[in-house]
Amino acid sequence: MKQSPGFADNDLIARVLLDDDRNAFGELVRRHQSQLRASLRRMTGGNVELSDDVAQETFILAWKNIKSFRYEAKFSTWLYRIAFNAWQSEVRKKKEVLMDDARMPEQEAVGFVTESSGVRRDLVRAMEGLTVGEHNAIVQCYYNDLSHEEAAFVLGIPLGTVKTNILKAKEKMRAKLVAYGPEAGQGVAA
């Protein structure tokens, strides 16, 4: 996530911890809201209202639990972890069973589509059919720009599972892109 000029995240967190400074926390929210909301939109298949509700819940949980922030991870990574858990909790509430071997519903596999360029269309199609675990791993490692270790922390799964999911996801996407033939070739090469 972008770092605005001024105080670093850790300085703001320290102010929140020491002085219960809501303005400092407000600055953290302002600073991270865009990337977090975008990430949640990808997870919720572009559902703006739902993703914003989960984002708000994420920041409220972050405020309540900020004392447990240990500076071992970046604040943004910690937020992604809370957001992922909040989203999973929301899914459970809706009784949508998301098992690791379950396939992504088509709408959710689409991700956060903002424009439909040829490349994106091909990519979105290639991401259809990924399992939830594979999709989550791709979103965290590529779209949230996390390392495999950070993605494992966010998703709460072993590092090896993240790596396996990424490999499997890319293998599936590769097969899909090949299946598209010349169209995919053009899209990918663009």
3-class DSSP state of 10: helix
Contact of 46 with 110, CB cutoff 8 Å: yes
Instruction: Name which of 74 and 120 has its Cβ closer to other proteins.
Output: 120
Smallest separation, CB 82 to other proteins (Å): 13
User: Which of 105, 159, 185, 186 touches other proteins (CB under 8 A)?
Assistant: 185
The gap between the terminal CA atoms of the chain, to the nearest Å, is 27
33 binds other proteins (CB under 8 A): yes
User: Which residues, 153 to 172, sit near other proteins by CB under 8 A?
Assistant: 170
Determine, following the binding rule CB under 8 A, whether residue 22 of this chain makes contact with other proteins: yes
Q: Give the list of residues 6+ apart from residue 2 with CB closer than 8 angstroms, or none.
A: 31, 35
Q: Taking contact as CB under 8 A, which single stretch among the options 7-15, 91-99, 138-146, 148-156 is the one that binds other proteins?
A: 138-146
Asked if 186 contacts 118 with a C-beta cutoff of 8 angstroms, the reply is yes
Of 12, 43, 109, 138, the one binding other proteins (CB under 8 A) is 138
Residues 6+ apart with CB under 8 A from 98: 88, 91, 132
Report d(CA 19, CA 166) in Å as an integer. Answer: 42
Binding residues for other proteins, rule: CB under 8 A, are 22, 25-26, 29-30, 33-35, 37-38, 42, 52, 55-56, 59-60, 63, 112, 114, 119-120, 122-123, 126, 138, 142-143, 145, 170, 173-174, 177-178, 185, 188-189
